[in-house]
Structure 1
Amino acid sequence: MNLAEFAIRRPIAIMMVVVGVILIGVVSSSKIPFTLLPDITYPKVTIRTEYPHAAPEEVESLVTRPIEQAVGIIQNVVKQSSVSRPGMSEVVVEFRWGVDMDVAVMD
């Protein structure tokens, strides 16, 4: 007897299995915690500095490069990028997942 024959010959047994699966699903969904907006800290730090009335070349040589060199010795850095604009420098440092960002910021 295959599954199709069993389902035709014993419809009450199939209904009980379906109801059981639905009940297990309802109970499981009520026990699983979920949040619409989970608290996830992306391992990224942005360092913005201002140097008023300075050209991008000056900002790069006097601000951005020293910050990049200082950040370069920190452990668990995955990626580092920077942008120098007139009067402003921005260095973005990405860390590995699982790094304690409070400790990383202090480094």
Structure 2
Amino acid sequence: VPDITNVQVQINTGAPGYSPLETEQRITFPVETAMAGLPGLQQTRSLSRSGLSQVTVIFKDGTDIFFARQLINERLQVAKEQLPDGVEAVMGPVSTGLGEIFLWTV
């Protein structure tokens, strides 16, 4: 199966004890703001749940995934200063959307 998915990087942040609203305000929003203006950025998507923030950064086709991850890593270093103590935003592993398709078709 050819991989025709977009270039995306996921940023996951655990926040035990935070409500969805607190997670969005204190974690998701600062991370999304830090990603704004990245070269090749197409879109950001986010999910804020009880104790979990997940931000997906989507780049234009043709963007090198490792270049994208380096850019995000640099921005995360700045964003960490705005996050609450004890909360760490980490990038997910290199993967594609095909993993989700295979997960549901097995």
Please state which band the TM-score falls in when normalised by the shorter chain.
0.5 to 0.7
The equivalent of 2:36 in structure 1 is 72
User: Could you say which residue in structure 2 is the equivalent of 1:84?
Assistant: 48
Distance 1:79 1:59 in 2: 20
- 1:49-96: CA deviation from partner (whole Å, max 9, x where unpaired): 110011111111111011001111211111111110000001111110
More helix by share: 1
Gaps of at least 5 residues in structure 1 are 1-36
Is 1:45 the counterpart of 2:9? The answer is yes
Q: How high is the sequence identity, in percent, across the aligned residues?
A: 37
- Structure showing greater Rg: 1
Where does the alignment leave 5 or more consecutive residues of structure 2 unmatched? 72-106
Indicate conservation of the 8 Å contact 2:24/2:48, yes or no. yes
Aligned residues: 71
- Which amino acid in structure 2 is aligned with residue 97 of structure 1? D
Cα RMSD for the two superposed structures? 1.5
